Every structure is written in C-alpha cells, then in structure tokens.
Copies of this chain bind each other. A is one copy, B any other.
Amino acid sequence: MTAMTGRIGETVDRVRAEVAALHSHLTRWGLVTWTAGNVSARVPGADLLVIKPSGVAYDELTAATMVVCDLDGTLVAGDHAPSSDTAAHAYVYRHMDHVGGVVHTHSPYATAWAARGEPVPCALTAMADEFGGDIPVGPFALIGSDAIGRGIVQTLSGHRSPAVLMRQHGPFTIGTTAKDAVKAAVMCEDVSRTLHLATQLGPVARLDPADVDRLYERYQNVYGQR
C-alpha cells in the first residue's frame, strides 16, 4: 500500500504519531488488557480517521503500524487490518462533527457498571467537573453493523458526558481532540472505581443538579492553562 503524499500526507503522519503515542495512556492507567481497546483521531481537513490495528500488542504500536480509514471505515492506508471497532468510531465521526477523537476500552470498573446496565451516578465533585452529570448507559449492540456507533451517538447527543457505557460491553468516550477522549476514558474509570467502592458500603446521594451545573461550568472554563 503506497504512502500518502503532499500536505495531507504530512497531516496523516502527524496524526498517526499522535494516536500511537496516546495508546500509552491506556496501559499507564490500567484501562486495557492484552490487545483490547483502541484510540482513534479524525484527520483535520480530510474525511479520514487514524486508528489502532486489530489485535496488535500495545508495546508494538508505532506511528507506522497505525491504520488510516475513510469515514465509512474502509482501509485507505496502512499495512495492517484496522481495529474491529473501526465501524463504531467511523459512525461517530460521520454523525458528530465536533468530535475529533474516540476511545474504547473494557476498563474493569466502568465495564462492571456496563455489565449491570447502571449509569454511574454523579455523586462526586470530580464527576460534575468532567462529566456534568451521570455517565449514561447505551444499548446492547452487536459488532458488525452500525448498531454500536448508533447507540453511542444516540446516547451522547444532547448529553454533557463524553463517556457512554455500552451495555454488557464497555465504555466509549469522545472528545474535541483524541487526547480529550483519552482523558475522558481515564477519568471515566477513575470515577467508576470510586463510586463502585463507595456504593459497596452504603448508599451514595447524587449531587444537587444546580451544584453540578456550577462545577461543570467552572471546570470547563477555568481549570487548566489558557
């Protein structure tokens, strides 16, 4: 398969390097096991996405092994078959213009909530900050059609949460950039774990919705470096 050339080729190369590097956060924060999980990014200025190859080990991921697909999930460039979740990522990019990155894992605590089909209740200030409410549950959907992508888009449309727990499957997260989607995946597991632990020993009350609004507003606009 020939390399992509010209300005778009340079952009693709940059995105491939970025997507390859972002996968290290999934192992660093314990979100993935063996070869499961994947990060993708939209290629700016083109109807393309870059995604992890299918079934390749995390310590073998390099810019060169990343795969380029069009937004129907069809392979455009790369020496490997794309992630088996590519159709779901592609569906999200086709239907959510503001999304620049998508992440999927089977991280254990988030997937435990997904296995029961229960949303993670917004009961911590850190959840209000990042998710602006509960982390919602999406439908059960089989791989091999648009069902997963459709479930993600329907659940997250009009919701502040960048994370959805696909029922009996695991979390998908979105972001303006791929790094934002990775952060959402990391924080999704973090709050899923803390609320799992909290709920084990007694009931946990959700925050007052007005407080959630205040915290979310502030975190999205004040936190970090501007």
Interface residues of A (CB under 8 A from B): 29, 33-36, 53-56, 80-81, 84, 106, 108-109, 111-113, 115-116, 118, 123-126, 142-144, 168-170, 183, 186-187, 190, 193-205, 207, 211, 214-215, 218-219, 222-226
Contact = CB atoms under 8 A, between A and B. Distances in A.
Given A115-B195, A123-B115, A80 B225 contact: yes
Contacts of A193: 108
B196 A201 contact: yes
Given A34-B183, A169-B125, A201-B199, A84 B194 contact: no
15 contacts: A33-B187, A34-B186, A34-B187, A34-B190, A36-B126, A55-B223, A80-B225, A84-B222, A106-B124, A106-B126, A113-B198, A115-B195, A125-B169, A142-B214, A199-B201
A112 B201 contact: yes
* Chain copies in complex: 4
B225 A54 contact: yes
A56 B225 contact: yes
Contact of A115 (B33, B113, B198): B198
4 closest A-B pairs by CB: A55-B224, A112-B197, A115-B198, A112-B198
Given A193-B108, A199-B201, A223-B84, A143 B115 contact: no
A224 B197 CA distance: 33
Nearest to A193: B108
A185 to B, nearest CB: 10
Q: Which of A115, A187, A194 has the most CB of B within 10 A?
A: A115
Given A34-B187, A36-B126, 19 more contacts: A29-B34, A33-B186, A54-B225, A80-B225, A84-B219, A111-B194, A115-B123, A115-B124, A115-B195, A115-B198, A116-B201, A116-B203, A123-B168, A124-B168, A125-B143, A125-B169, A196-B197, A199-B201, A200-B200
